[in-house]
Amino acid sequence: MTNNSLNILILGSGGREHALAWKIAQSPLVSKLYCAPGNPGAESCAQNIPIAADDVPALLKFSKANNIHLTVPGPEAPLVKGVVNTFVAEGLLIAGPTKESAMLEGSKIFMKEIVAKSGAPTARYEVHTNRDEAVAALSRFGERVVIKADGLAAGKGVVVASSRDEAVEAIDSMLVARVFGEAGAKIILEETLDGEEASILAFCDGERVIMIPSCQDHKRVGDDDTGPNTGGMGAYSPAPVITPQLEKWIEENVMLKVLRTMAENGVPYKGILYGGLMITKDGPKVLEFNCRFGDPECQPIMARMDSDIVPVLMAIAKGDLRGVDVKWSPKAAVCVVMAAGGYPGSFEKGKAIHGLDAAGNVPGVVVFQAGTSRGVSGEVVTSGGRVLGITATGNSVKEAIDTAYRGVGLINFAGAHYRKDIGRRAIGR
Dihedral sign from CA coordinates of 300, 10, 42, 325: positive
Dihedral angle sign, alpha carbons of residues 248, 303, 404, 380 = negative
Distance in angstroms (rounded) separating the CA atoms of residues 128 and 150: 10
- Helix (H) or strand (E) run with residue 209 in it: strand 209-211
Residue 371 domain-assigned (yes or no): no
Domain identity same for 97 and 136: no
Residue pair 79/15 in contact (Cβ under 8 Å)? The answer is no
* Spatial CB neighbours of 61, under 8 Å, sequence gap ≥ 6: none
User: pTM, whole model, 2 decimals?
Assistant: 0.94
Average pLDDT of the residues in 314-338: 97
The β-bridge relationship of strands 283-290 and 270-280 is: antiparallel
Are 97 and 177 members of one domain? no
Rounded to whole angstroms, the Cα distance separating 357 from 407 reads 10
Residue 148 inside a domain? The answer is yes
Distances from the Cα of 136 to the Cα of 31, 247, 321, angstroms: 59, 39, 48
Q: Which domain holds residue 31?
A: 7-101
Average pLDDT over all residues of the chain: 95
pLDDT tens digit string along 195-254?
999 999 999 999 999 999 999 999 999 999 999 888 899 999 999 999 999 999 999 999
Q: 390 lies in a domain?
A: no
State residue 3's pLDDT score: 59
**Distance, CA of 297 to chain centre:** 6
* Gyration radius from the chain CA atoms: 21
In the listed set 140, 164, 185, which residue is the last one of a domain according to the structure? Answer: 185
**Alpha carbons 36 and 34: distance in angstroms, whole number:** 7
What CA–CA distance (Å, rounded) separates 40 from 375? 10
**343 found inside a domain:** no
Residue 30 inside a domain? The answer is: yes
88 located within any domain: yes
pLDDT value at residue 173: 93
List, in sequence order, every beta strand (DSSP E) within 111-206: 125-128, 145-149, 158-161, 187-191, 196-205
Could you tell me if 42 and 72 are in contact, meaning their C-beta atoms sit under 8 angstroms apart? Answer: no
348: number of Cβ within 10 Å? 12
Rounded CA-CA distance 271/95 in Å is 6
136 and 97 both lie in a single domain: no
| Polymer length of the chain | 429
CB distance 367 to 342 below 8 Å: no
Instruction: Please list, in sequence order, all residues whose beta carbon lies within 8 angstroms of the beta carbon of residue 88, skipping any fewer than 6 positions away.
Output: 94, 98
91 and 157 fall within a common domain: no
State whether 135 and 92 are in the same domain. Answer: no
Are residues 25 and 64 located together in one domain of the fold? Answer: yes
CATH number for 61: 3.40.50.20
**H helix or E strand, kind and range, residue 135:** helix 131-137
Phi-psi region of 6 (alpha: psi -120 to 50; beta: other; left: phi over 0): beta
- By the 10 Å C-beta count (0-12 exposed, 13-18 middle, 19+ buried), 35 is classed as buried
pLDDT band at 1 (very low <50, low <70, confident <90, very high): very low
User: Do 27 and 74 lie in a common domain?
Assistant: yes
For residue 215, count other CB atoms closer than 10 A to its CB: 27
Q: The CATH number of the domain where 148 resides is what?
A: 3.30.1490.20
Cα 286 to the center of its chain, rounded Å = 16
Whether 274 and 292 have beta carbons less than 8 Å apart is answered as yes
- Among 122, 156, 185, give the residue marking a domain's end: 185
Domain assignment present for 401: no
d(CA 27, CA 313): 12
Could you tell me if residue 256 is inside a domain? no
Q: Determine how β-strand 158-161 pairs with β-strand 145-149.
A: antiparallel
Q: What is the pLDDT of residues 266-317, one digit of tens each?
A: 999 999 999 999 999 999 999 999 999 999 999 999 999 999 999 999 999 9
342-390 pLDDT, tens digit each: 999 999 999 999 999 999 999 999 999 999 999 999 999 999 999 999 9
How many domains in the chain?
2
